[in-house]
Chain A
Amino acid sequence: MPLLEVRKLTKHFGGLSAITELDLDILNSEILGIIGPNGAGKSTLFNLICGFYAPTQGRVTFEGENITGLKAHRIARLGIGRAFQATTLFMKLSVFNNVFNGFHMNYKEGAWKSFLHTPGARREEKEARQKVLEILEFMGVAELKDQICHNLPHGHQKIVGVCIALATQPKLLLLDEPLTGMHSEETSKMLELIEKIRERGITIVLVEHNMDAVMRLCHRIVVLNHGRKIAEGLPKEVSGNPEVIEAYLGREEEG
């Protein structure tokens, strides 16, 4: 059974249809790449899966449960995590505190107990702090832990964004353009890290423009254009697909 199923997903904004009748399956433990020219609807798709938008039509099912139209925080609690395209972080906080916030929903003791600072709650928070350090080390940014995020270079900010998402202990991780703005060294590093994350059992979906990276990293690729899926399959199959080539080249001629 696929981890995430999308059926006939449609999203209208006023008169504009951002996504039309999209069907998609995301399989367990895979790395799925979603590509397409600008405006194809990739970010919209993520927003729909995460719960920031409610679909105009269609269904989204996660682990067999219908999550269509649920609010974002509920969906997050079900195990879908997201790292954003723009560097969406708690800019004024340190890296450590950013990732620490990521553990918010994974405490067993209630918020009330946290307020009372019971020994149980304190112990859990201590454990969480340990786990934050583990995540930072796993992603190779442990030495940055006390830096304030808005002082960090773009590449590091992106990594911190992924760390925060990891702290939510997701089953499915949505990475929105993780490689944008990175130079080749940082890109290789990030690709390694993404593979490492997958080895931990987390399913990954990426939206990316860096074709090279996508071909190397992803097990399967889905291509969107004008809000519709125009191709799906293994990287080799997709890169040879004439419709896909036209979608990209066609765009270049227009622009």
Chain B
Amino acid sequence: MNRMSVKKILVGLAGVCVVLGLLPQLTDSPYMMHLLVMSCINIMLGLSFSLLFSAGLVTIGAAGFWAIGAYTSALLVTRLDFSYWAALPLSGLAAAFVALVVGLVIVRTPGVAFIIQTMVINMILVQVFGHFEVFGSWAGILDIPSPNPIGPLVFTGKVGSCYLVIVLLLLNILAFYALYTSRVGRAWSAIRLNARLAETLGVDLFRYRLAAFMISSAGAGLAGSFYAHYFQSLEPGMFSVFKSIYVQIYSILGGLNFYIAGPVLGSLIMTFVPEFLRVSKEIEPIVTGAILVGLVIFLPGGILSLPERMRSFPVPFLRRKKETRFS
């Protein structure tokens, strides 16, 4: 990275900050602001999924780590009187810790086994949160306070939450971007593209995969911590495998090969568009399901792959089936 590109990045970042900073001012409607907040949370979850994907692992358990972050934060604040600002990083750490323990076992078998195991982990976590009194059982935890004010900054209202989540999101993006452009991100790419070759280049597959799992989970955990204090009540049903699947859709819709822009685009679309389309609740899963299937067949690279597609094929949906090796 030379002087010029560092400058460009900083300018770009400043521009993005300004735009995002103005966003909450654009609308008076608390509902729109709520959607904005939710889409930011969803983006963070999508980023976490994409990070793991960049290392070649697919997870359907993101909601589980989201839950760990949320519950940790809620418990620390409501039961142990922690300040939110202390609980936030601890939630991330808690999620990373669980990911470490679980990962030591399941990261050894990447591939389909891993996918199923993450799903099982998610289910286990939901059961654990639902079963024990400590976590409030199936009724969950209620009356979670908003984040404590820092000086003049108050986070109780929608506007305050908006700004907070945007800051968290930007930090998240920054951190992940730094990872992707560093040796770590390159190693993950190498593992994803050709793990065998990566091994001969000295990449410790297990360590890097485990690191990806932990970082991805920490990200989801942080998002969970914010969620707990924004929504102010938690119950295990919110964190089902169903939600994890939605997280996957964000990344696929946006574009799997775009680790940051993909989840951003996908989450924004999935959060805002259903509101405007006003699809009846009844047939919503059918529509979502059909979109998902359509995406996979006609546009597996996601929306962001369209420009590329347009260039190489005149008719975007002509695809030859490929004989691929199962890995």
Touch between chains A and B, by CB atoms below 8 Å: yes
Q: Which residues of A contact B (CB under 8 A)?
A: 50-52, 71-73, 76-77, 81-82, 84, 88-93, 100-102, 104-105, 107, 111, 114-117, 121-122, 125, 164-165, 167-168
Contact partners of B198 in chain A: CB under 8 A: 101, 104
Of residues B178, B179, B193, B201, which shows the largest number of chain A Cβ atoms within 10 Å of its Cβ? B201
Say yes or no: A104-B190 contact (C-beta < 8 A), given A111-B183, A116-B178. Answer: yes
**Interface members, chain B 116-158 (any A CB < 8 Å):** none
Contact partners of B77 in chain A: CB under 8 A: none
Contact partners of A101 in chain B: CB under 8 A: 186, 189-190, 198, 201
Residue from A71, A90, A111, A117 in contact with B197 in the complex, judged by beta carbons closer than 8 Å: A90
Q: State the total of A-B contacts with C-beta under 8 angstroms.
A: 86
Contact A76 B197 (CB under 8 A): no
Contact A164 B197 (CB under 8 A): yes
**Interface members, chain B 152-206 (any A CB < 8 Å):** 178-179, 181-184, 186-187, 189-190, 193-194, 196-205
Contact B199 A76 (CB under 8 A): yes
Q: Interface SS of chain B: helix, strand, loop or mixed?
A: helix
Contact B183 A72 (CB under 8 A): no
Contact partners of A73 in chain B: CB under 8 A: 199-205
Contact A168 B183 (CB under 8 A): no
Of residues A82, A90, A107, which shows the largest number of chain B Cβ atoms within 10 Å of its Cβ? A90
Report, nearest first, the 9 A-B pairs whose CB atoms are least far apart.
A105-B202, A114-B183, A114-B182, A72-B199, A76-B202, A90-B193, A115-B182, A77-B202, A73-B204
Contact B183 A104 (CB under 8 A): yes
Please give the distance in Å from B327's CB to the nearest CB on chain A: 13
Please give the distance in Å from A74's CB to the nearest CB on chain B: 8
What is the bound-complex CA distance between A92 and B1, given in angstroms?
Answer: 22
Contact partners of B203 in chain A: CB under 8 A: 73, 104-105
Contact B202 A93 (CB under 8 A): no
What is the bound-complex CA distance between A118 and B38, given in angstroms?
Answer: 34
A-B contact pairs, 11 of them (CB 8 A): A72-B200, A76-B200, A81-B200, A82-B200, A84-B197, A101-B189, A104-B190, A105-B201, A115-B183, A116-B178, A121-B182
Contact partners of A115 in chain B: CB under 8 A: 178-179, 182-184
Can you add 12 more A-B contacts, CB < 8 Å, to A89-B197, A116-B178, A168-B202? Answer: A51-B199, A72-B199, A73-B199, A89-B194, A91-B193, A101-B190, A104-B183, A104-B202, A114-B182, A115-B182, A117-B178, A168-B201
